[in-house]
Amino acid sequence: MMTDKQMSDIGIVRLGDQIAVRAYCEKTNSGQENDCPPHRKSELLRRLKEKRNQLMSCREKGATPSTSNTSALARKSQRRVDVGWLNYDIDMKSYTQVRQRTGGGTRKMSVNVQATFRDLLEESKQLFFPDGVSNKGMVDEFEFTIRSFDHTELELDLTIGELLERTKVKLLHVYLTTISKVNEHGDITTPSVSSFTCV
């Protein structure tokens, strides 16, 4: 029986095709080849020859054969981004993570690498403020930013792909940060950068 590498060398690179060839060979060796209609055999052989010729022509040109479908290309343009929520606590004078039981938690999103953090900010607002409301208040009552895993504020025109290239991480973890526009005393709040705490 041929190994996976041997099958790949002759142009049978897809797992389903390899399984079909093995099943055909087993039937042939056990004397059951008459169960398979002749047109099926010829179709299978034609497809194998076609793939082998395609592989050989690609090797001659120095290119790699196209064995992936469009969904594989689409997956490369999509990346997973984990989004958490940090809300500024006026009493503690620091940002604290909003837990899942109170409407926060970490949300796992699949995002196009060409999307900007402005797009991610809007999508995150919809996740944590469905219909414009959360346990912390209405969406209009807050100022929003997006921060990286190290709590650095991100430029809204920066793309996901640019940050992935800059940080060299496989999985991005960012935070939607919120701060109430007005606190209980009517004062506008402006926290410092050092006001982040992990709880």
Residue range(s) in the chain whose domain bears CATH number 3.10.20.90: 74-180
The model's pTM is 0.56
Arch. (CATH architecture) of 74-180: Roll (3.10)
pLDDT at residue 126 in the model: 92
Q: What residues in the chain have per-residue pLDDT under 70?
A: 1, 30-37, 61-76, 183-199
pLDDT at residue 195 in the model: 53
> Which residues, other chains included, contact 119 with Cβ-Cβ below 8 Å and sequence gap of 6+?
111
pLDDT at residue 48 in the model: 82
User: What does R_g of the chain's alpha carbons equal in angstroms?
Assistant: 27
pLDDT at residue 71 in the model: 43
Say if CB 104 and CB 94 are below 8 A apart.
no
Task: Give how far Cα 73 sits from Cα of 21, 58, 134, Å.
Answer: 27, 19, 37
pLDDT at residue 196 in the model: 52
Residue in 151, 89, 150, 147 with CA at minimum distance from that of residue 120 = 147
pLDDT at residue 145 in the model: 93
Beta bridge pairs of residue 175: 84, 147
The torsion defined by the Cα of 44, 48, 49 and 54, in degrees rounded to 10, comes to 140
Residue type, 171: L
> Which residues, other chains included, contact 56 with Cβ-Cβ below 8 Å and sequence gap of 6+?
11
